[in-house]
Amino acid sequence: MVFNSLTFLVFFAVVLFLHNLRLPWSIKKANLLVASFLFYAAWNPPFLLLLWASTVVDWAVALKIHRQTEQGRRRAWLIVSIIFNLSFLGFFKYGNWAQENWHALMQLIGVQYTAPKWNILLPVGISFYIFHSMSYTLDIYWKRVEPIPKLFDFALFVSFFTQLVAGPILRTADLVPQFQRPRTATANQLCWGFALMIFGMFEKVVLADGVFAPAVDAVYGNGDPITGVDAWVGTASFATQIFFDFAGYSVTAIGAAMCLGFSIPNNFRAPLAAIGIAEYWRRWHISFSTWLRDYVYYPLGGSRDGEARTYLNLMITLLISGLWHGANWTFVIWGGVFGLLLCGERWMRRKTKAWNIPKGLWFQVSMMLLTFWIITCTRVLFRSPTLAEAMSIYRSMIGLHADAAPILSLYQIVLSMVCVVLTLFAHWHMRDKELEHVVARAPQWLLVSAMSGMLFLTIITQGNGDGFIYFQF
């Protein structure tokens, strides 16, 4: 069940209706839990067992960790949780890939080996809900939070349907305290929630799927050498499409939660206006980048043990980030490239600290455009299904396929690039602003017109209910 479908609209209307009935809070929470399980079961009912198993094990293990006084036993129970969750994630997400790589390795060394066909299905959202659940046991181990006494509340936290399959990746402190007392949306929250859902669906259906996806799919689904113009336009379009696709999901999830009276943290802050790679990661998929910071980078030592160790910690963290995104060497290399970029940027900042670096507007805009150009180049690895295709796109970008036949029409090129430029301008305008403050200062007639226009365009845009890109992760 995807947000951009009629099925979800009916589902959400029923959930919202039940949530606003005069019922005991325990019944309303039960309704939300059942609705969340139904939402997930709509993808593949048997995978509910994995969700339940991860939830029950981590809740029970966290209680064990909290009750233990001996550090060795606390660590042993934490290891149980980590092994249990990563085993699930490793088998379902990386099982096929590991088998393929083992087969390739055997062939490389001359061993005759025929790999059995596993055809393991990837449960939707497994990376997200396992990170939700693991963060709780890690926080209990580090004594950052108190244990959740009721399995019911923990299960609702892990499976809450608005953010279950593609985030934001929440911590227990973000959501569980909100379960402790009755919550329904105020009139202002309801208006804001519906507005965010409309805006999120506009980003997904109209911009990501309607404007950018045709050019991206034509370039990356071609298979033959393409012109440099096609390669650059298709890749810049994908760098913008993936933002609208993922931000559209996050905004819709936040809006849906707000309609029910719950608050979920923002997951994006104008990332395409970032100046530098480090700032880009602070603005893009914030819940994931902070998860990696708090549960991988800091435990490795962060920047406390000298520059060499800091660079190593950055590389390990970003390689894990790449591997988290998918079972493919393109993602691993993508993570490694970002790790090198972060290390290089950190080194340059240290070396230029005493220099008089310009602070003017044009310098900042130039650095923003340079950052976007770098991000666009890395997106080739993210979008290409194989390294061979990625290398072919890169060759086109540097002009080695100048004799290739054009793929994109002039209309597609102009539409895509105009929308890319408008997106960059909008992100720059919102770079240091919050959406709430901008809306508060805007005339009411303008807000109503904008919402009506986005809703109208979303409804009339022909779409197939395409899944969100981050569902595959």
Q: Which residues are catalytic?
A: 325
For residue 43, give the DSSP letter.
T
What dihedral angle (degrees, nearest 10) is formed by the CA atoms of 196, 201, 202, 206? 170
> Cis omega before residue 168 (within 30°)?
yes
Helix (H, G, I), strand (E, B) or coil at 348: helix
Helix (H, G, I), strand (E, B) or coil at 3: coil
**Contacts with 153 (C-beta within 8 Å, 6 or more apart), sequence order:** 29, 176, 179
Amino acid, single-letter form, for residue 201: M
For 328, left (φ over 0), alpha (ψ -120 to 50), or beta? Answer: beta
Closest CA to 372 of 471, 190, 249, 238: 238
Closest CA to 16 of 256, 176, 239, 249: 256
CA distances from 373 to 240, 259, 391, 417 (A): 12, 38, 17, 13
Place of tokens 């997904």: 204
Cβ atoms within 10 Å, residue 68: 16
In the chain, DSSP finds a helix count (H) and a strand count (E) of 20, 0
Amino acid, single-letter form, for residue 230: D
> Token digits for 160?
């809450």
Provide the terminal-to-terminal Cα distance of the chain, rounded to the nearest Å. Answer: 16
d(CA 307, CA 315): 12
> Token digits for 359?
């602070």
d(CA 225, CA 409): 16
267 phi and psi, to 5 degrees?
-110, -10
Helix (H, G, I), strand (E, B) or coil at 367: helix
Amino acid, single-letter form, for residue 313: N
For residue 468, give the DSSP letter.
P
404 exposed, middle or buried (CB, 10 Å; 0-12, 13-18, 19+)?
middle
d(CA 386, CA 215): 19
81 exposed, middle or buried (CB, 10 Å; 0-12, 13-18, 19+)?
buried
Amino acid, single-letter form, for residue 337: V
Q: Which residues of 131-285 form beta strands (DSSP E)?
A: none
